Structure 1
């Protein structure tokens, strides 16, 4: 019966919709192995909800492979290609950004363009140069589908009374006045590396140089102020800058426990959500440098040899549905800002977003200030390696 219904839909639909009906028919019964960073319980719970919905609606199960580092999944796909595999790969869908996307794109590890085939892509601004078309300055070329907005923010407990710096340079004086009350995640972690990138963007003599692939010459010139700033900051960090929390979740717990006074996130709604969960005090508030902070779009991609490509496309499409995006933006669920263009939504969907709960700790887009562009992925790789060398000395 299902096969007859799918055939009828294909016969009646436009070519694009006919193709999608065929994709849904092929996907039914598949299990999608979704490789995604597993360090945030809220994100894990949201992915579990997505899987429950796609299984009930489309017969597509989702199994999250919880990564500590996205590079683990990249290495797996790279090894499969080296072994001559062209199908049946272990990774069906991957949450990916920046250097990992660049590596997979350059090495031919991604499935061909698929975003234009997703019916729900009509809700996203995909005009040339739009945020959803570039990943850390690298053109996406339809090889990744957007699913959540991200912007780097700081958080502090306003009840503790300390006035927070308004620019990155000011953290040196702030840490000196409050020794041991600040830290950042290990720069091997994305949030720790982003903290360094935020400072780099603020302090670099020529920020436009950061949009280009790094060279020895540009690295030496543009990072000199950064490392001078960091050397002044580090002795006054938690544990004299000799140890660092593993990731943002650990640092958030440290803020909640009163062990430090500052935390940092790449999700502006995370502090409000953590207040709801009882991890952070109700007096925690978000702040950003006056000049703005780094922002980008998070994407999902499909490896070239994915065993269940049709199922992966169904999941990527559902992630872009107004229903899933509104659920994601709810601070009681995940709280990440939607990637959808509100002007492309119908009145009912707009009303769903307007009805989402708010919180004193939830910033508005105006509160978040300007969005600063991510440097080219090669800068993040070089910064993390240099930081590891410097802190090991």
Structure 2
């Protein structure tokens, strides 16, 4: 009770002048915190980054000490694995006591979960920390799909490249220049293997450039449109793979391997979806101090990544408490610290402290409609997967 009184003493004082601090709202959140006490939240999230994993461990310790909520990070390679699990639980009629309490998602996976009615909510507007979120960001749409309060924004992602200035001082500023570089210096460039998230993002960004950001990319894909619009993409990749790392017959498993190959001097560019990842990697000793992140001159493929709760979560109250904490100024400031994770925050900068106030962001390029993702991955695997 002391914990609850302390939390809400601060909360009520901070928001006494706002409509959010009305008694029913405070009482409802108090009830959620009471229900969360002692719960274990199974959080399905990508596990391919040491920096991110360490951050989630820190958040888990804070949630345990403050709210007696246990955060269990279930590391997944691709959140589509979790989507498949939830669809199976739905088909089996498992509408309570589900195996997943919280997911880190966006794009195609959010649309799939939403279309299959796999999500709890709407809950986002009821979070006390929602007050801090920068509403000028596209926090209410996910790859053009309305979020409808079913997922809470967690951070900003942008597809950028990392190079070592000592070995590559003037990196390619477009995919056209990248192909010219690959031909001039064979076996020095590559990208993660789709359907891994970073690999798919690479080919989507490439598709945007080679089609001059065709308006069809913002619409649901059809077979005929796909065949026509993607022709220059496959022509490019056929040329690129012929001079890529290992002859385009093998690809890094993800961004972690991409960064390792860069650090080992095997390739000249690594791919990441965090414009500040280079700083945390340098801090961890995984990249040289001479490495630097940059975006293509046209901009960086950009999106918001989100947190959501399945409809049948066993610990929905604990998940709401966890998400609310992860959206707090304290947690967002730590997440945005360039020496810890460096993930750009979704909060108004006035609420942030330290380096999170000024994390690096580049000019944005919008994601294609989510339906393009599965179509691109399927065709890529058909052409290059064996």
> Do 1:3 and 1:25's aligned partners in 2 also have CA atoms closer than 8 Å?
no
Matched, 1:76 2:69: no
Per-residue CA shift, 1:167-222, capped at 9, x if unaligned?
11211111001100011000110000000000111111552211111111221222
> Do 1:112 and 1:143's aligned partners in 2 also have CA atoms closer than 8 Å?
yes
How big is the shift at 1:126?
3.8
Q: 1:53 and 1:115, CA in 2 relative to 1: closer, same or farther beyond 3 A?
A: same
Matched, 1:210 2:217: yes
> Do 2:47 and 2:76's aligned partners in 1 also have CA atoms closer than 8 Å?
yes
SS of 1:258's equivalent?
Answer: coil
Matched, 1:106 2:99: no
Aligned partner of 1:377 in structure 2 is 370
Aligned partner of 2:16 in structure 1 is none
Aligned partner of 2:14 in structure 1 is none
Q: Which runs of 5+ in 2 are unaligned?
A: 10-20
How big is the shift at 1:364?
3.2
Aligned partner of 1:184 in structure 2 is 191
Q: Which runs of 5+ in 1 are unaligned?
A: none
Kindly report which structure 2 residues correspond to 1:331-370, keeping only aligned pairs within 5 A, or say none: 331-342=338-349, 345=350, 349-350=351-352, 352-353=353-354, 364-365=360-361, 368=362, 370=363
Aligned pairs, number:
376
Aligned partner of 1:387 in structure 2 is 380
Aligned partner of 1:267 in structure 2 is 274
Aligned partner of 1:90 in structure 2 is 99
> Do 2:168 and 2:268's aligned partners in 1 also have CA atoms closer than 8 Å?
no
Aligned partner of 2:162 in structure 1 is 155
Q: 1:313 and 1:390, CA in 2 relative to 1: closer, same or farther beyond 3 A?
A: same
Aligned partner of 2:319 in structure 1 is 312
Alignment counterpart, residue 24 of structure 2, candidates 4, 12, 15:
15
Alignment counterpart, residue 222 of structure 1, candidates 203, 226, 229:
229
Aligned partner of 1:32 in structure 2 is 41
> TM-score, normalising length from structure 1?
0.91
CA RMSD of aligned residues (A): 2.2
Per-residue CA shift, 1:118-158, capped at 9, x if unaligned?
0100111347xx41111111111110011111111001111
> TM-score, normalising length from structure 2?
0.92
- Structure 2 distance, partners of 1:340, 1:2, is 28
Aligned partner of 1:286 in structure 2 is 293
- Structure 2 distance, partners of 1:37, 1:297, is 15
